[in-house]
Structure 1
Amino acid sequence: MAYEFIKVDREGPVTIFTLNRPEVMNALHSPAHFELHEAFDAFAADPEQWVGIVTGAGERAFSAGNDLKHQAGGGKMGSPPSGFAGLTSRFDLNKPLIAAVNGIAMGGGFEIALACDIILAADTAVFALPEPKVGLAALAGGLHRLPRTIGVKRAMGMILTARRVSAAEGEQLGFVNAVVPAADLMAEAKKWAAMISECSPMSIRASKEAVMNGLDAPSLESAIKEQFKHPAVAALFKSEDFVEGPMAFAQKRAPQWKGR
């Protein structure tokens, strides 16, 4: 499907989502949110798509977050039930997402990255939750995901000052997985996606679902016991991949994953 404000490209089992409003540093408005909602819905439903990469068009920005000029000008407001960028309130997506942060990731842009499972950053990337400086708050998940990722004190040091953090500091703080030269960012993201794709997609989905649900379990014991009730974990045990993996290992060959 053709979109106006985003681009969606497929490379084998990998889907690349590009926020495509470089003229406003990939800031998002209501129409873009709904396009992303539709694109992520399609990705979630497609059994042939195993891994997603989210990035921004151009060299300046991943996303500057909410399009405040659109808002101030009386533009149509609203977002889908899946949240900012069709992603920040999408809690049932068990396919992995990689954020390839190619520049500024401010406010909602940072929240998009935090909603992904892995954050790879160009050495030119900058992160912040600057909403308090314009009388807002990072209510699209940033206030909750950042403390869960790097700890309360470190997160509060960013949230309460609204300060900007470099890619290198983001890696030091623990919310960035790797920093690479800007020219190498997409190659790095595709390398990570390829490594994930070498694994059984059924195993990857079960693993993500168990981790994310387990974070809110009241105890480690509860998380371990409850994981067998998660849909993706149950699906793993019934899948062709569950048979193929051990068989390929025994036959000393590469597994042929089916994702079912």
Structure 2
Amino acid sequence: MRWLLSLWASILFYTSIPLPHVQGLDFQGVARFVPMVGLLIGGILGLVDGGLGDLGMPVFTRSALVVGLWMAITGGLHLDGAMDTADGLAVGDRERRLQVMADSATGAFGAMSAIAILLLKTAALTDMGSSRWLVLMGACGWGRWGQQVAIAIYPYLKPTGKGAFHKQAIRNYKDLLPGLLLMFAVSGLFWVGNGHSLLVPVVMVIAGGAIAIFTGAWFNHKLGGHTGDTYGAVVEWTEALFLCVLTIWV
């Protein structure tokens, strides 16, 4: 029962899904459940995508609507972080980057970053040949596992902030294993349920894990650590790049 309440809290924290607020929710450990939240988001997107496909909607229009719904379900939380991160990285002075990222105003680089992410996701989905629902679940899951990796490995750069308490929930590599095993299982569905060769789920695991890890490492290299904004940037860029890579194989 306790884990169910924690999952409920994680859904409330990371999405705009209209769940009722339940008494006794603890938001301190929500980061432990983000891969499950990602699979829920991906599952919803897959159902909508499949329904629109059954109605005969063209693939490009369907893909654009799915990406729009994707943004709506998360409340733009991660995309906003990616935009703030892009604005911060555009500043040459490393000391001022965190100040720029904390500014709520969106700059040119933030806007360009959002456009690039949305275009990449829409284009990749349009080129996806089959099993789009599994690919969507994989993208959302790996993106959030990448967030867990960034939380566990790299320092948090602010004494306070929305992401500060995540460091208490995800402390070392052992906290990453449940999400990783969950993503292995999702990738395996490609082989079991869709008649693909074993190569496809192997590519999903390698590509998803590598992109998730190296995206977080790149932001750490640029900033010397992470913030709540860069956690969101890891999610968004991992999702977009994972979809792009999968167009080669699916």
Q: Which has the larger radius of gyration?
A: 1
- Higher strand content, 1 or 2: 1
| TM-score normalised to structure 2 length | 0.30
Which structure: greater helix fraction? 2
Higher relative CO (Cα under 8 Å, sequence separation at least 6) belongs to: 2
